Amino acid sequence: MAMQTSPISYVANASSPHVRHWVEYLDELGSPYHIYSIHKNSFFPPEQVTTKFNGLLRFGALGSIVAYILLGLWLRLFVPKALQLHAHNTSGYGLSAYLSGRKYLLTTYGSEIFSVPQKSIIYRFLIRRTLHAAEKITASSQHMQDTLTKHFSVPASRVMTFSLGVSSVFRVSTEQRSIVRKQLGISEQDTVWIYNRRITPLYRTLDVVEAFQQFARGRQGYRLLLLAGDFDAQYLAKVKSHIQGDNNIQLIDGFIDQAQLSGYLCAADVALSLPKSDQLSSSILEALSCGCLLILAKLAAYQSITDQFPCVVIDDVDVTSIQQAFQDSVLFLQSDISHLQQQQLTQVAWGRQQVMLLIKKLYA
């Protein structure tokens, strides 16, 4: 299923697992690519990435904004006009693509689009301009598409809605489950929850930690794994302080490759996703594919999951409700859900062949 031979030019975080997932499909399609980034390269061959203005990131949010602007101006000066860009996120790399003066595609992130009403007038203006200048926009949920068309007046004809699904790496493996549990010092009898979302305020990691500590206090055999991912440094410091000395909570720092992530998910029994806003994240699909029960916030973007799979759903997320969800998930696990999930997963529309057809259509 070969695609075009001209390189796909990503304007994106070269340390993002999300971008790595897209590139995985490009590799399978035999399509060359190049990534322009302000972030250091963590995953890709060095010749496939151009990193500019990374030093500005040490100055925090303001430094990042300046770096995104400078990247856009650099692209305007040094990238051929005929080159089509694909920006991954609207507020940062989308702004770079907009300032480049080149044609561009845009992949939206729920964390920025759904939070727009709480942002400044300037932020809202730039998001709207960036969305309207994009030739095509990809969304991973119907809720995101509806938000773009209804609240930002983006024509529906310019929005392609599909999930990237999951890599074939993610699958149930009792062997990996045993290996990773042994590495982590977790017994086969312990119940393990995993939170594979970025450690930032958006994902309420501190609430999850506090709820787990209250739930597990005085009990044996309960463990929580936190995967830091692309974290907020100040918030991560608070989380580390909160879990210091708690042997039931383990923090996995930094980015990990897909094989490692699959191992952690196989080692877990339950995966949580409790953001304040979101699209249908691939992290949820990956957890499902590895046999995890899900604890989810009640979000419109998650409805396709909660309608099809056994889940613990929290209507109003706070420490008390999360603590109750931990208890409910223990009861849920007394029934055999993994076999049922694997049967259901074969029936959903996340197959790789379908996703590759949609990606070819996007770049046509």
Residues 256-296 have pLDDT tens digits of 888 999 999 999 999 999 999 887 788 898 998 898 999 99
CB 231 within 8 A of CB 198: yes
93 and 137 in a common domain: yes
**pLDDT bracket for residue 241 (50, 70, 90):** very high
Final residue in a domain of this structure, among 161, 185, 203: 161
Q: Are strands 49-51 and 104-107 parallel, antiparallel or unpaired?
A: unpaired
Q: pTM for the full model? A: 0.70
Provide the residue range defining the domain that includes 118.
Answer: 8-161
pLDDT at 171: 86
Cβ neighbours for 106, distance < 8 A, ≥ 6 positions apart: 86, 87, 90, 94, 97, 130, 131, 134, 136, 137, 138
| Residue 335 CB neighbour total at 10 angstroms | 9
pLDDT at 137: 97
pLDDT at 129: 96
76-96: per-residue pLDDT in tens? 999 998 888 999 999 999 999
pLDDT at 7: 84
CB 138 within 8 A of CB 162: yes
Number of domains the chain contains: 2
246 and 149 in a common domain: no
Final residue in a domain of this structure, among 106, 127, 161: 161
178 and 320 in a common domain: yes
181 and 147 in a common domain: no
304-353: per-residue pLDDT in tens? 889 888 899 999 999 999 999 999 999 888 766 655 555 555 445 556 67
102 and 28 in a common domain: yes
311 and 184 in a common domain: yes
With respect to residue 130, please indicate whether it lies within any of the assigned structural domains: yes
180 and 156 in a common domain: no
CATH of the domain at 135: 3.40.50.2000
180 and 155 in a common domain: no
199 and 131 in a common domain: no
238 and 147 in a common domain: no
35-67: per-residue pLDDT in tens? 999 999 988 999 999 999 999 999 988 999 999
144 and 225 in a common domain: no
pLDDT at 281: 82
202 and 66 in a common domain: no
